[in-house]
Amino acid sequence: MPVPTRRCKDDAAADLDHHAELHWPQLGGVEVRWRGGYGYVIGYLDDDETDLDAPEETVPLCRIGYLGTPDDWAFALYHPATDSYQDTILPGGSFTGTLQDILDCACRVHLANTPPKPIQP
């Protein structure tokens, strides 16, 4: 598996975080931790910020794999029962896809029972 450049890693992390901000209000953000050609995507649940000393709750979401192009990534969903990642088919029927499609699929699975933060008037 090829290893992405630092710029590619930074762009992928920024794209995922921006997409999460627009489409997944349950998340306060996402972070990508890299190991070789793989990026491990972690979501930070958006809390009510009343207890500033409490640590943020994190949710491992998925693993992305760099395939040599920033437009097509391998996808593995985090499996909490085994604390591992399993290659997963996206809803479109492919094992690879865009970062946005990957994040949407992982969030649908891992955030299904997490209500969005209420909008303050």
pLDDT above 90: residue 121:
no
Residue in 84, 104, 12 with CA at minimum distance from that of residue 3: 12
pLDDT one-digit tens code per residue, 56-83: 789 999 999 999 999 999 999 999 999 9
Q: What is the pLDDT of residue 20?
A: 96
Q: Which domain holds residue 77?
A: 6-94
Q: What is the pLDDT of residue 73?
A: 98
Is residue 121 included in any domain, yes or no?
A: no
Is residue 47 included in any domain, yes or no?
A: yes
Is residue 23 included in any domain, yes or no?
A: yes
Is residue 119 included in any domain, yes or no?
A: no
Structure tokens at 87: 């290659």
Q: What is the pLDDT of residue 56?
A: 75
Distance of CA 35 to the CA centre of its chain: 15
pLDDT one-digit tens code per residue, 82-119: 999 999 999 999 999 999 999 999 999 999 876 655 55
User: What distance in Å separates the CA atoms of residue 30 and residue 44, rounded to the nearest whole number?
Assistant: 6
Is residue 55 included in any domain, yes or no?
A: yes
- Burial, 85: exposed, middle or buried (Cβ in 10 Å; 0-12, 13-18, 19+)? middle
Do 98 and 91 meet the contact criterion of CB atoms below 8 Å apart? no
Q: For 28, left (φ over 0), alpha (ψ -120 to 50), or beta?
A: alpha
Q: What is the pLDDT of residue 55?
A: 62
The structural domain count of the chain equals 1
Q: What is the pLDDT of residue 46?
A: 76
